[in-house]
Every structure is written in C-alpha cells, then in structure tokens.
Amino acid sequence: MLDAHPMEPIAQATAIVLAGASLGWIMLFSFVLSPAAFATFDAGRAERLVKHVMNRGHGILGLIAFLSAIASLMAGAIAGAAVAATAGVFAFMCKFALAPRDDKPIKGHRVVKTARIVASGLTAFIMPVLIAAIVLTMLGI
C-alpha cells in the first residue's frame, strides 16, 4: 500500500538540515568571527567587518530559516514552521535594525561602540529559537 504522504520524511529532513545550517552560521558568526574580528583588528575595522558580514550574511540566514519553515510546513510540523519563521524574522531584524549603523552622532553626545555586543549577543539569541524549531519539526508538531 502506498503511503499517503511520501514527501513528509524528505521535507522533515530538509527542514532539520536547513535549521541546522542556520544554527551553524549563528554559532560561527557569534562565537568565532565577531570575537576574532574585535580581538585582531582595531575597533573601526572590526565594526566595518561585522557590519559587512551582517548586511550580507544575515539576509541569507533569514532566507534559510524561512526555507526551513516552508519545509517544516510541508512535513506537517506547523509549530516547527512557525518557530523557524520567527527565527527568520529575528535574522532580518538583526540585519536591518540591529546592525552597526553609519548614523552621525548627535552633537554634544558621546557615541558608545556596542557593535560587538549587539551583533554577537543578539544574533546568538536566535539559537534557542532554531533549536526549538528543530525539536518541534522532529516531533512533527
């Protein structure tokens, strides 16, 4: 007898692999690239590197998380899809709202450089969301 949904296991595996790839990117950026940039380069160069990587990489990260959400939905894991889509939204928020910016400082105010904390820390907070998406997708929830 034929299975009613032969693509579900493939979609589930695809969703888990894509969420795992997103998780790997976040770990690489948050715990390797950003700290190494700030330890190796002066603050200005490190901020430019982190900004460049966020502007290029976090868009791709968001798309991969959204693709994971679509695959989870195809596998029947609706909660896994919702959580993976939330991770994608968080990645785009890091890209557009939380990335180090080129705004000029307000006259008379000192600029505090928080690029490392914002870029690494807030990106790392996406990791538990992706882990939850993986677990929910594995359970088919």
Phi, then psi, of 121 in degrees rounded to 5 = -65, -50
pTM of the model: 0.83
Closest CA to 62 of 33, 38, 21, 91: 91
CB 92 within 8 A of CB 59: yes
Instruction: Please list the pLDDT of the chain residue by residue as tens digits (141 residues).
Output: 445 578 899 999 999 999 999 999 999 998 999 889 888 998 888 888 888 888 888 899 999 999 999 999 999 999 999 999 999 999 988 887 765 556 666 666 555 566 566 667 888 899 999 999 999 999 999
Closest CA to 83 of 65, 57, 63: 65
Residue ranges per domain, the chain?
8-100+112-139
CB 116 within 8 A of CB 46: yes
Closest CA to 92 of 43, 58, 64: 58
pLDDT value for 55: 83
